[in-house]
Amino acid sequence: MKPSTTLKWVTGGMEAFLAIPVLGGLTVMGFGYSPLGLMLILHIITLVFSAKEGQKFHGSIWGIVASCLGWVPFVGWALHTITAIILMIDAFASGRKEKGMQV
């Protein structure tokens, strides 16, 4: 499995966790909004790996936006949800493509 695919699964899962309405918000606020900074760094790393490997990277762009605007209550929830879905779909499609399956 390519590093970009693994990173998409990891960041997609983390975004899905942050998209849980109360739990995600309390986690972000409880750690002083540092999870958003961590996610920003991870999305940038995923973007770089995806670009180097010729993979889709729009999920990482959404993740960067979600990390920057995640502190806004309902906007953050929506962005984390959209980002998680896009990253999971990208990771699934990339994994199938690597195995030579029809996507």
Looking at the domain assignment, is residue 34 inside a domain?
Answer: yes
Q: Is the pTM of this model over 0.95?
A: no
Write the pLDDT tens digit of every residue in 80-98.
Answer: 999 999 999 999 998 777 6
Residues 47 and 65: their CA atoms lie apart, in Å, by 13
Residues 36 and 7: their CA atoms lie apart, in Å, by 16
Write the pLDDT tens digit of every residue in 46-79.
Answer: 999 999 999 999 999 999 999 999 999 899 999 9
Looking at the domain assignment, is residue 103 inside a domain?
Answer: no
Check pLDDT > 90 for residue 15.
Answer: yes
User: Is residue 103 very low, low, confident or very high in pLDDT (cuts 50, 70, 90)?
Assistant: low
Segments forming the whole domain that contains residue 13: 3-98
Check pLDDT > 80 for residue 25.
Answer: yes
Looking at the domain assignment, is residue 12 inside a domain?
Answer: yes
Report the number of distinct structural domains present in the chain. Answer: 1
Residues 63 and 84: their CA atoms lie apart, in Å, by 8
Looking at the domain assignment, is residue 58 inside a domain?
Answer: yes
- pLDDT value of position 102: 57
Looking at the domain assignment, is residue 61 inside a domain?
Answer: yes
